[in-house]
């Protein structure tokens, strides 16, 4: 009798696998994942896997079982140790791996962990993850002798590659905050070789994240960085999430620059190198960004939210730059096309030095609009997609200007409002943007009206 493995359905997310360790994510899951990915890769004549892990306390044991599963299916596994996710992606690209897996809980609380995956150096997501779940359930795994080898962290090579695209001999006064995450060793190494004056806070890897939660899209998580920038009288502050694939930035005045603002600034540099190129942003991004890309002569493209979706869309359109409000920034201009917060920092700092403009000046040059941050409305998992469909159906009976590539984004009275289902949390995501505060309040009222019609009471 064939005995397979049953993954908890709730951990099989759209872009990765993620759950609470000891509750719905276990070492047995890691082993089954390794066996399943190895079987999938073998079916494509794959043999080589690279595996890395973040600084969470549960990561080493999950990584060990994952590697055991991969090897049992005939894969030769190279372990790169404690690295940020983009460091693992870098190793996969350089080594031309058939499978790459990062053990990480990303920006989730410390009790979480999970796996980000690539097969043939392309994102492994969506239906592929659900197909993997079915394969594991059947338990028809390949059995062959593989092997596991520790090659150690690849931080030196990773930092050297990033610095290849730093063209100036000058630098800035910078405060870095890797947030006690797995990007800390790479941040320290980067600061040693980059010109300028560098201060690093929260530079010890600690999976409990003792100083603040490692999510740079939440303003309170940037307070410590803002204070350090003020104390050092620094030019800029840069923060990373728990696994180094999302960036947060504050200027010398402590003002936060969101993902769409960063993308608008970086587009100036990229569109000089690749005139007329497509620049991709997710559906949550400001209209300011799309208008700015068009003004610079680029082709602005709106895409569904999700780092795996963005990577795939970039490859299809041969786009040199893409980004999300969540701080995922993807460079294919001179780089590999995956989301890398450290490389984004290198390119941003280099552009500031070469252009001779401060991040404050560039921020102030952007068109000024009034908008909300991302607002998350907790709803039951079973209702979140249904509510979006209900809203979409109601709007289809009106003359509303709706973009439904990911949820519903409605253009209205010179602004817009968005409601979409989160693919990583039991929540609906809301964002509104308008020309002034009064118009913004009106748009927020339209959102509340739609929620009320679907039986959800909200107050924001």
Query: Using CA atoms, how far apart are residues 23 and 90, in angstroms rounded to an integer?
Result: 32
| CB-side neighbour CA atoms (13 Å) of 226 | 13
Concatenated DSSP letters for 307-346?
HHHHHHHHHHHT-SEEE-TTS-EEE-SSS-SSB-HHHHHH
Identify any residues that bridge with 146 across adjacent strands, giving them in sequence order: none
Query: Using CA atoms, how far apart are residues 387 and 189, in angstroms rounded to an integer?
Result: 47
Query: Using CA atoms, how far apart are residues 200 and 188, in angstroms rounded to an integer?
Result: 7
Identify any residues that bridge with 199 across adjacent strands, giving them in sequence order: 175
- CB-based contacts of 336, cutoff 8 Å, min separation 6: 89, 90, 93
Query: Using CA atoms, how far apart are residues 332 and 320, in angstroms rounded to an integer?
Result: 4
Residue 149 host element (H or E): strand 147-150
Q: What letters, b where the CB count within 10 A reaches 16 and e where it falls short, cover 243-267?
A: bbbbbbbbbbeeebbbbbbbbbbbb
- Supply the residues annotated as catalytic: 106
Question: Pairing relation of β-strands 196-200 and 76-82?
Answer: unpaired
Concatenated DSSP letters for 383-407?
HHHHHHHHHHHHHHTTT-EEE-SSS
Question: Pairing relation of β-strands 321-323 and 278-282?
Answer: parallel
């Amino acid at each position: 009798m064939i005995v397979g493995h049953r993954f908890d359905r709730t951990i099989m997310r759209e872009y990765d696998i993620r759950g609470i360790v000891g509750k719905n994510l276990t070492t047995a899951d890691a082993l089954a994942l390794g066996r399943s990915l190895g079987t999938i890769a073998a079916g494509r004549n794959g043999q080589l896997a690279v595996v890395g892990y973040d600084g969470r306390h549960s990561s080493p044991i999950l990584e060990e079982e994952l590697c055991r599963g991969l090897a049992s299916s005939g894969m030769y596994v190279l372990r790169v140790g404690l690295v940020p996710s983009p460091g693992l992606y870098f190793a996969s690209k350089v080594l031309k791996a058939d499978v790459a897996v990062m053990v990480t809980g990303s920006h989730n609380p410390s009790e979480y962990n999970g796996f980000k995956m690539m097969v043939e150096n392309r994102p492994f997501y969506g239906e592929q993850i659900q197909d993997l779940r079915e394969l594991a359930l059947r338990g028809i795994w390949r059995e062959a002798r593989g092997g596991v080898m520790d090659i150690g962290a690849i931080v030196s090579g990773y930092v050297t590659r990033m610095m290849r695209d730093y063209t100036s001999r000058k630098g800035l006064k910078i405060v870095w905050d890797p947030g006690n995450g797995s990007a800390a060793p790479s941040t320290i190494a980067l600061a040693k070789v980059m010109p300028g004056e560098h201060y690093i806070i929260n530079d010890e890897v600690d999976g409990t994240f003792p100083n603040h939660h490692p999510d740079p899209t939440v303003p309170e998580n940037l307070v410590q960085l803002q204070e350090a920038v003020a104390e050092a009288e620094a030019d800029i502050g840069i923060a990373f999430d728990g696994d180094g694939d999302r960036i947060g930035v504050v200027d010398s005045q402590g003002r936060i620059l969101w993902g769409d603002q960063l993308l608008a600034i970086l587009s100036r540099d990229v569109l000089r190198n690749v005139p007329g190129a497509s620049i991709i942003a997710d559906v949550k991004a400001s209209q300011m960004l799309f208008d700015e890309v068009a003004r610079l002569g680029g082709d602005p493209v709106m895409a569904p939210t999700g780092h795996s979706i963005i990577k795939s869309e970039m490859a299809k359109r041969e786009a040199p730059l893409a980004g999300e409000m969540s701080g995922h920034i993807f460079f294919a201009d001179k780089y590999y096309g995956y989301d890398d917060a450290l490389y984004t920092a290198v390119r941003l700092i280099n552009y500031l030095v070469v252009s001779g403009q401060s991040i404050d000046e560039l921020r102030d040059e952007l068109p000024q609009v009034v908008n909300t941050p991302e607002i998350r409305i907790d709803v039951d998992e079973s209702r979140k997609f249904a509510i979006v469909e209900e809203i979409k159906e109601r709007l289809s009976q009106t003359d509303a200007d709706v973009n439904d590539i990911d949820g519903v984004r409605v253009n209205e009275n010179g602004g817009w409002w968005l409601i979409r289902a989160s693919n990583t949390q039991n929540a609906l995501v809301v964002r509104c943007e308008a020309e002034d505060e009064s118009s913004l309040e009106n748009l927020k009222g339209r959102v509340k009206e739609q929620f009320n019609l679907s039986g959800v009471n909200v107050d924001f």
